[in-house]
Structure 1
Amino acid sequence: MMSLGLVASAGAAEYYASDNYYSLENGTDQSLWQGSGAQALGLEGKVETATFERILEGKLPDGSEINASRGEHRAGLDLTFSAPKSVSLVALVGKDHRVVDAFRASVAQTLVWAEKNLSQARVWRDGRQVTENTGNLLVATFTHDVSRQLDPQLHVHAVVAGATLASDGKWHSLKNDEIYQHQRTLGAVHNAYLREGLEKLGYELVPGNNPVLGEFEIAGISRAQIEAFSERRAQILAVLDKDGRSSPREREIAALATRRDKEPAMDREERGKVWAEKAARVGLNLQPIIAAAMERSARGETFWSRMVEGVRGIHARGLEVAAAMGLTPRSGDALVPERKGALTPQAFAAAQAVASAVRDLGENEAGFNRLDLVRAALERRGPINAEVVEARIAQLQDKGLLLGNERMVTPASMLALEQRAAHEIAAGRGAVGAFADRPTAALRVQQAAANLGMRPLNTGQLRAAVGVLATNDRVQLVQGGAGTGKSAALVPVATLLREEGTQVHALAIATRTARDFGEKLGVEGKSVASFLARYRPVLDGTASPEQVANTARELRGAWIMVDETSLVGTEQFEKLVRLANLAGAERLVMIGDTKQLQAIAAGKPFEQAQERGTPTSPVTENLRAASPQMKAVAAALEREDLPGAFAALKDRTLELPRLEGVETAAAIWVSRSPEEREQTLLLTLSRAMRSSLNTAVQEQRADKGELGKQTHVQTVLDRVTITREGARQMRAYREGHIVTFNSNLRAQKIGRGERGRVVGHDGERVRLEMQDGRVQTFTPGRLPHNLQHDAVSVFAEKRIALHAGDPIRWTTNDHARGLANSDVAKVESIGKHGIAVSTKDGEAINLKHGDPMLERLDLAYAVNAHIAQGMTAKDGIMVLSESERLLNSTRSFLVAATRFTGDAVLIVDDAHKIERDVARNPGDKTSAIEVVRGRAVENEPDKRDPAMTDELRRLGAALGPEFVWAVLTNKERELTLEKGLERSEPGRGSVGRELDRERDMERGR
């Protein structure tokens, strides 16, 4: 494990260098200078406290002095590398001093890797300040051997001074951003080096209890024995468990909150006796484990060398190694194109690990950081380290299978998918007939709105409605910010279509959103996934003539409308457009907002489509915000002024510690009348905070006597988020997890609908206790590769208390009873046979014990941003925590802050840090074309994909050279969003003037 902390000041030098409390038995130096920066200064061997202190002050031995960064010199960072507990036990209790040396060596190797990949400085070049990779760090390492509770804990403090030597020959302040961003990768790199070193010493290793980042333990030491020597960890976990928290940042905070002064020092002999007595008490005999390891090491034998003994053929040996890693090689895998036997077992293992990691990351991101790919590959464990993985990534880039640069990469297959989507959109240009001409369409749609009792459509809404009716293009986009009434603009359109007998399909990613959208349009709403599943054979080319005919009958001439399209990933987006073309749909109308939350799946196709010039109707007038506060917030966010948005909320912002903030938010909500509560949204960004708010509100309502006195404690299933590729990894299955099977796995004798509880692991197999009591083994690595859905779902169990009067939210769909994921119901009564609930439509449902929906619910007092997108409430209470740094993004804040028509209260634990984090983290996804453009495409327009080139030629003939110039200079978004190009830019002509006229008309000039 690796944790990261700031070194507050040079005064910390004495703490790290002191040896009166920590002392190693094997006589090695407790401290060492490391890093190329130290070598450049002639620093080697033991760290002298005085020199170390001056360096932390920014005063280097060669006379250089580090200038303060942003007004204050940063002393440095403390990278604390901790050995797995079993490794500490073998090294310190079992006294295998080889392990201490291997651990220190693994830290040194990790620091070399960090120098190469993470060391940066800001330097002046050509009159501007740029960031450069310096390739050197100045590090003082201190090896310690006990925790604050005097448990055996081998760890190294690698104190990275805030100084690095740049290409100009001068020392500069170290830029810490990359180290912070990739601290998890540092942990994975260190685990791989340590694993390699211990395997050379003959130790057999098994996955850790929570084997993220490739964490492991030494075989033969039980979990109970490990936990007996882990009092410090138990303290931290107790605090996290109490508040329902689990993120790395929250672990850091919990560690600080539970930190206490050091225990009184014991001498080495006394401490050894205490450890020996505890080992005897828990039945831990380390000597046989150490002796066996030494024997294997003397024979030059490792786990991996034994794995391939007697296996004939290089390819067969590679398959054995991959199987032991839990990987199942795919035939015809584009990311492993080498012929059989062309790769050594280690190279084959690296190839399979990288291919698996690309698929894993690629399910959620079109492009990803190369260092994240290194981390994900190393998490597969095996006989691989960072160098081997990086070499494999470089090979894939040389072969053109991974595209990008030294920072960002994307699979070539993702670029091809984006190109196909662009080609399909282009294929629909001019391919359909207009419903009516523009004047007629405007008159008819306003009349339809009046007939429906709607107020007249405003300028933006009318332009969107007319745009989709009067176009000859099959694909039409409607872009509008939160609360602009963009989907409402299509209500009269759908009415006109239905009056003409035209089939209308209403779709959205979430079933609940699709149902609500369908109700607006007067048709049945369907999820995008279920809609595409119906026509899967047509899309994959396996449809029978009858299926093709049915598809044509259902979709030819139909209008397909998709709400919240920003949440649709590239794969589904491409299928929707392709299906519309194949079936001859009259129109595919996609509605969304490029500023709100983006798809969980890879890509951002709605935004890309706009950037590529797909016809788009902007809807800009905010109809939701009614109060001065919300109007100010909405206006600030529209102009991307985050400080302005926070300033508009300042008078209603409370700054309180996290737990107090949760209780205060609950108290504000509970203090309101039932009618006011119905119109007040209690909103946060994370599942953990949502759970805390739910519990706090429930407890306060119970104290007021508002809930039924009888309590029903229900065990519910909380989904563990994993990708389809991640489901093939052993690390996804922790003891106690519930695994449900969504496909028939005949080869493993498991049927669809079966489920089991994880009770242990046997190598690459998971042991499950099934519902009928039998124990079934399951091999994740053998899951099918080609499924379009999740073959398995994994859940953690959570216990919640239910009372009559509690609102609940479903966490899955029950189509038979019309229950949709995220829909709200109310507990009406609790009986000995189950609970009775009423749905939002007033329907009564009895959930008897054993009903599957009893496990698929949660309290519904609070919602998070993903649930809230698309919702509207009169008032709001937003609760944000600085500890949830990764979730505090511009997009999530925008969604949270634009749900309300009236007023909002903002409760935070650190207003300054939250505003800073929201500003720093846009929450953006990336596209494959953006990754490629970062390398070459911007400056080489002739290398653009053929679909785009053909489209540009056609559009250029129609719209003139200004449009083509805008696209080639990557400024098509300004055209698409009707911002216009600056008059000083070359090439501005008919297109720019037309945009000016359109904008002036909208403003009523």
Structure 2
Amino acid sequence: MTVRPNPLPKNAADYYAADNYYTGEQEGPSAWGGEGAAELGLSGHVDGDAFNAVLDGRLPGGVVIADGGDGTRNRGFDLTFNAPKSVSLVALIGGDARVVAAHARAVSATMAWAEARFGQARSGKAGKTLQPARMVYALFQHDLSRMLDPHLHTHAAVVNAALRADGSWVALNNGPLWKQSTLIGAAYHAELRLELSKLGYQTEINGKHGQFDILGIPRDVIEAFSARREEILRKAAELGMTSPRAMAQIATRSRDAKQAGDAQVARALWAQKAVVHGPAIHGVTQAAYDMVRPRSAMAAVRDWGATLVARVTRGFGPSPEPLLRGLDDVRRGGDLASAYAVAAGVRHLGERAASFDHRDVLAASLSMAEKGATVRGIEARTDALRQAGVLIAGPRGGVHANRLTTRDMLATEKTILAAVRAGVGTANSPMAACKADAALTHVAEARGVTLADEQRQAGLAMLAGTDRIQLIQGDAGSGKSFLFETVGRAGAEGGVGLLVLVPQNKLMEEMAGLGLKMRSLASVLQAHGRSDGRARMSETLSTLMAGKIVVLEEASMVSSRQLAGLIDVVRAGGAAKLVLVGDVRQIASPSAGRPFALLQKAGMPTVRLAENRRQQTDTLREAASLAREGRIGDTVALLGGRVCESADPAAAAVAQYLGLPTGERDRTALLTSGHVLREAVLGAVRDGLMAEGLLGPDAVTLRVWDNLNLTREELRQSRYWAEGMRLDIYRHQAGLVPGSYTVGATERGTGTVRLERDGHTRHFDPRSLHHAGQGAALAVPGEIEVREGDRLIFTGEDNTRGMTNGTAVTLDRIEGGTLHLSGRDRDHVIPPNDPMRERLGHGAVLNMHRAQGITVDRAITVMDSHDRLLNSQSLYYVLQTRAREDMTLHTDDRAGLVAAIESHRGDVPHALDLAPELSPSGGERFDPATGELAPAEVAAERAESRDARLLDAMSAALQTIGKEEVTAAPVWLVPEPVAMVQVEPIAPSRKELEIEITRDFDMDM
């Protein structure tokens, strides 16, 4: 589905009539819609004169909506609902008129839902108050693409008029409709999928946001009737564009006007293609008729319900009895599908964020939905879980009122907070304070430096402090690496060891010369943690940690689940204390939770390193300070000419880099905000270096693997699997032993995939992966070209040979296919059959997530103003603070970039932010059933009267099912249990339900 970004044309009625040619000489179907239209008496076929009058603000009954303050009128905008190509084919080539009617019903139902949820008008002083409003829109149904392919679609021309509750007609606040267009499109696809199932068609989700196709239509048939799509792909290939945004721009800019007579020409073309492809389409259409003709509607529902249960219960474990009751009832069958959809959606969101917007739950649930779930059903299910306390919403009327979290995340955050609080002042100091102070002074003097007061305070807190878990807030450039080295040497003088854990292997390389014992956090948790979050007791763990100060560097990049697991591992290993060092302003973990920030917000004792010791000029130091405060506009203004605007910022950055002398290039890092820009800059830089003769003339092509970085719930959906991928298993699960498996074909309909390993083949259902498990990943194959002189990095590891993930190397020479690499500490030889050849990547350009924690002399950076998800204050702060001497930022739109960054803090509210009853003060209690704050004694009485073990009685979403026993969080020094509340049994909703699906861009328009 697309939202047309242009105002409606002056002669909109004529435009839509001329743009359809639905039946040649006649106009295509049209209809008024919206409660506002009904109030005006507008219904049935859309009269052109009446439509244009309404667009001009002249409403029936003499009501006139005034023009804007500048005398102009925004007439409205266009929402376009596009049926999947397979649906267009069965309707228009297969001749199934029922499908055309199903499309119309789906559009009408979706627009009615969108009006109820997003129809708004402004009121009050300066229009600051938003209130629900009734809308006016006109629906125009068409059947041609601009390349004359079958393309069933409907234009919803939304009029810039809205009826407020007070009876006044005003302009529509269209912002929510524009912003939620993806969700609206998803709702349409869901409705359509449900309608098609009633007609006997089998469908299968095959893309993002629940996009689907009808089963049985071969791919070559779809492509034969997709000339417009091929045109867009061909143009994109010519321009070297691949992103959805680029595709959408090409689709819009390459449109040709339809010509009179196109309908007749189109049908002649369809008839020609149908000679070859018609039988396949008609076979699917006939099968659908056969499915419904001899059977009653209730029989079809029973079969659908049984199929659904068979599909979903394989993935959710043993039959959850409350969910399986009432399968003979169509409405309750729909509720079951919606319950599973919410289950999957919440798990998906909960893996990446501690809390999430309720609209994100709708979108994620619809993307994961089985046939039968609908947007209204998902809303009802989500509300039921909130009422029962399974999902927790922010206090009504508060800043987080529209956000949700899970009780599991609440428990995890409370456990972490309690562990830190309980450890305050309870640890035995690793060293006496006077001895530690003397050791720090001795080490500093030996190095010819004097410790600043804040450095000494931090060092003493690490060596002599009595907090079992010590927090150190180290601002960017404050000298954290120097502190670790100093404390490590001072501790060694007193017989106290230091173990530094890092969340990224790249940091190990950066700190390699400090003489510290280091490990990656992931390797420690994998070796000594368990799937339930608790630690494995072992001599190896004791040897690693016993009596040592364990330091977690870049703690801001660690998730709540990781920190909870580490706390238990540190306890089991007998460490003297755990020190968390990080910066709350920098990039957070991609997984759920920001525990380092949570602990500081809760007031846990924290030592701060604030002085900027990295940036060597006053301008860069002030810019770093402004960026830390989120004052991006002031930062950019201060940098002046260092921020460069151009139509192609990647090319401009490369030109600047190649213009540097060779010695300066070695001191200058190329950094980008994300992967797409990185690839553009990398390609251009290598082309330039080859032209200069700095890369060798002979190339070797390496097969490499890119991890898809899926959530666990996405991994359990077969649509993300494709032939040729690789499945990596790191721990025993779902009948699979650790190792790599080649992914074969996916069986459509059942969702099973073929896996091959060591000459053996098995069929595997991704839904058998436990939803709460870990240690599985999908990777896609790719190729990279390497030449002598290339800077590379290891993307995997072979510890027996000193090859560590993230370590930088240079390709010195290629001999007979053998790669000779040189690194900072050692050289490597990789012959043609070495598996580590698949674990190499280019290292000449880094994205900011990999660059966090590094320091360079100079930096040339690139950001795109349109990268909405990447342009955050935290990412910009990291970018601004990497270089010691100088930095340059290239972008396509200076003002647009500033606006995008300032509106995106880059953090997510904690689970505890949504639940005052679990806040550190403990003074307030939140009633999830009413959304109101209640006195503590009342809430306590309610909590005592409930049974927390019915937490997830009706929700497969949050129920722990299967062979693995999963605990919410490890417990270390937790004197107070997490307050829980009983969940009342949830009565199944009696509503019909829908499904949501969306298109990122449309190739047929």
When the two structures are superposed, what TM-score results if normalisation uses the length of structure 2? 0.85
CA RMSD of aligned residues (A): 3.3
* CA distance 1:268–1:512, change in 2 (3 Å): closer
Aligned partner (choices 479, 485, 491) of residue 485 of structure 2: 491
Match of 2:107? 107
Q: Is the Cα contact below 8 Å between 2:80 and 2:153 reproduced in 1?
A: yes
Residue 738 in 1 paired to residue 726 in 2?
yes
Runs of 5+ in structure 1 lacking a partner? 310-316, 951-1005
Runs of 5+ in structure 2 lacking a partner? 395-400, 929-935, 938-1005
Aligned residue runs from structure 1 range 803-818, under 5 A: 803-818=787-802
Query: What displacement does 1:443 show?
Result: 5.1
Distance of 2:146 and 2:588 partners within structure 1: 44
Distance of 2:27 and 2:146 partners within structure 1: 22
Aligned residue runs from structure 1 range 370-385, under 5 A: 370-379=358-367, 380-385=369-374
Residue 467 in 1 paired to residue 461 in 2?
yes
Q: Is the Cα contact below 8 Å between 1:21 and 1:265 reproduced in 2?
A: no
* CA distance 1:875–1:54, change in 2 (3 Å): farther
Aligned residue runs from structure 1 range 260-275, under 5 A: 260-275=255-270
Aligned residue runs from structure 1 range 740-755, under 5 A: 740-744=728-732, 747=735, 750-755=736-741
* CA distance 1:651–1:74, change in 2 (3 Å): farther
Match of 1:875? 858
Aligned partner (choices 658, 668, 684) of residue 672 of structure 2: 684
* CA distance 1:286–1:420, change in 2 (3 Å): same
Query: What displacement does 1:759 show?
Result: 3.1
Residue 205 in 1 paired to residue 189 in 2?
no
Query: What displacement does 1:743 show?
Result: 4.0
Match of 1:615? 605
- AA paired with 2:378? V
Match of 1:995? none
Query: What displacement does 1:52 show?
Result: 3.8
Residue 603 in 1 paired to residue 587 in 2?
no
Q: Deviations over 1:877-929 (max 9, x none)?
A: 22222332221122112211221122222222222222211112222122111
Distance of 2:33 and 2:116 partners within structure 1: 14
Distance of 2:79 and 2:917 partners within structure 1: 31
How many positions carry a matched residue from both structures? 918
* CA distance 1:376–1:69, change in 2 (3 Å): farther
Query: What displacement does 1:328 show?
Result: 1.2
Aligned partner (choices 525, 535, 541) of residue 532 of structure 1: 525
Aligned partner (choices 274, 281, 288) of residue 286 of structure 1: 281
Residue 393 in 1 paired to residue 386 in 2?
no
Q: Is the Cα contact below 8 Å between 2:553 and 2:580 reproduced in 1?
A: yes
Aligned partner (choices 821, 839, 858) of residue 856 of structure 1: 839
- AA paired with 1:42? G
* CA distance 1:133–1:233, change in 2 (3 Å): farther
Distance of 1:245 and 1:931 partners within structure 2: 41
Q: Is the Cα contact below 8 Å between 2:24 and 2:261 reproduced in 1?
A: no
Match of 2:156? 158
Query: What displacement does 1:448 show?
Result: 2.0
Q: Is the Cα contact below 8 Å between 2:559 and 2:594 reproduced in 1?
A: yes
Distance of 1:36 and 1:736 partners within structure 2: 51
Q: Is the Cα contact below 8 Å between 1:478 and 1:590 reproduced in 2?
A: yes
Query: What displacement does 1:195 show?
Result: 0.3
Aligned partner (choices 538, 544, 564) of residue 574 of structure 1: 564
Q: Deviations over 1:529-586 (max 9, x none)?
A: 222333326986685xxx3677567545321111110111011112233444555533
Q: Is the Cα contact below 8 Å between 2:716 and 2:767 reproduced in 1?
A: yes
* CA distance 1:555–1:511, change in 2 (3 Å): same
Q: Deviations over 1:937-987 (max 9, x none)?
A: 999625599xxx99xxxxxxxxxxxxxxxxxxxxxxxxxxxxxxxxxxxxx
- AA paired with 1:784? H
Query: What displacement does 1:506 show?
Result: 0.5
The percent identity for this pair of structures is 30
Distance of 2:356 and 2:425 partners within structure 1: 36
Q: Deviations over 1:211-251 (max 9, x none)?
A: 22222212221111111211222233345556775554333
* CA distance 1:548–1:746, change in 2 (3 Å): closer
> Quick check: 32-41 or 259-268, which moved more?
259-268
Aligned partner (choices 640, 650, 673) of residue 640 of structure 2: 650
Q: Deviations over 1:598-637 (max 9, x none)?
A: 1111011111000111111121111222234423321321
Distance of 1:539 and 1:384 partners within structure 2: 31
Query: What displacement does 1:87 show?
Result: 0.7
Q: Is the Cα contact below 8 Å between 1:122 and 1:132 reproduced in 2?
A: yes
Distance of 1:906 and 1:813 partners within structure 2: 33
* CA distance 1:661–1:603, change in 2 (3 Å): same
Query: What displacement does 1:438 show?
Result: 6.4
Q: Is the Cα contact below 8 Å between 1:532 and 1:575 reproduced in 2?
A: yes
Query: What displacement does 1:53 show?
Result: 4.2
> Quick check: 242-251 or 897-906, which moved more?
242-251
Q: Is the Cα contact below 8 Å between 2:93 and 2:278 reproduced in 1?
A: no
- AA paired with 2:794? W
Q: Deviations over 1:284-305 (max 9, x none)?
A: 5422322222232333568x96
Aligned partner (choices 184, 204, 214) of residue 218 of structure 1: 214
Q: Is the Cα contact below 8 Å between 1:643 and 1:915 reproduced in 2?
A: yes
Residue 457 in 1 paired to residue 451 in 2?
yes
Q: Is the Cα contact below 8 Å between 2:430 and 2:576 reproduced in 1?
A: no
Q: Deviations over 1:113-138 (max 9, x none)?
A: 212323334432xx786553515333
Which protein has greater RCO, CA pairs closer than 8 Å, 6+ apart? 2
Q: Is the Cα contact below 8 Å between 2:352 and 2:590 reproduced in 1?
A: yes
Aligned partner (choices 411, 414, 419) of residue 416 of structure 1: 411
Q: Is the Cα contact below 8 Å between 1:516 and 1:525 reproduced in 2?
A: no
Distance of 2:424 and 2:808 partners within structure 1: 42
Match of 1:47? 46
Distance of 1:599 and 1:328 partners within structure 2: 28
- AA paired with 1:144? H
* CA distance 1:515–1:655, change in 2 (3 Å): closer
Give SS of 1:613's match.
coil
When the two structures are superposed, what TM-score results if normalisation uses the length of structure 1? 0.85
- AA paired with 1:801? E
Query: What displacement does 1:165 show?
Result: 3.2
Query: What displacement does 1:276 show?
Result: 1.7
Distance of 2:55 and 2:914 partners within structure 1: 38
Residue 777 in 1 paired to residue 763 in 2?
yes
- AA paired with 2:2? S
Query: What displacement does 1:694 show?
Result: 1.0
Query: What displacement does 1:400 show?
Result: 0.9
- AA paired with 1:698? R
Match of 2:819? 835
Give SS of 1:922's match.
coil
Residue 362 in 1 paired to residue 361 in 2?
no
Query: What displacement does 1:666 show?
Result: 1.7
* CA distance 1:270–1:295, change in 2 (3 Å): same
Match of 2:475? 481
Match of 2:617? 627
* CA distance 1:220–1:342, change in 2 (3 Å): closer
Q: Is the Cα contact below 8 Å between 2:462 and 2:549 reproduced in 1?
A: no
Q: Deviations over 1:659-683 (max 9, x none)?
A: x332222222122222211211111
- AA paired with 2:677? M
Match of 1:930? 913
Give SS of 1:904's match.
strand
Match of 2:118? 118
* CA distance 1:323–1:835, change in 2 (3 Å): farther
Distance of 1:408 and 1:932 partners within structure 2: 11
* CA distance 1:548–1:721, change in 2 (3 Å): closer
Match of 2:778? 794
Q: Deviations over 1:399-419 (max 9, x none)?
A: 211110572111111111111
- AA paired with 2:740? E
Distance of 1:764 and 1:326 partners within structure 2: 13
- AA paired with 2:844? Y
- AA paired with 2:366? L
Q: Is the Cα contact below 8 Å between 2:148 and 2:262 reproduced in 1?
A: no
- AA paired with 1:254? I
Aligned partner (choices 892, 906, 909) of residue 909 of structure 1: 892
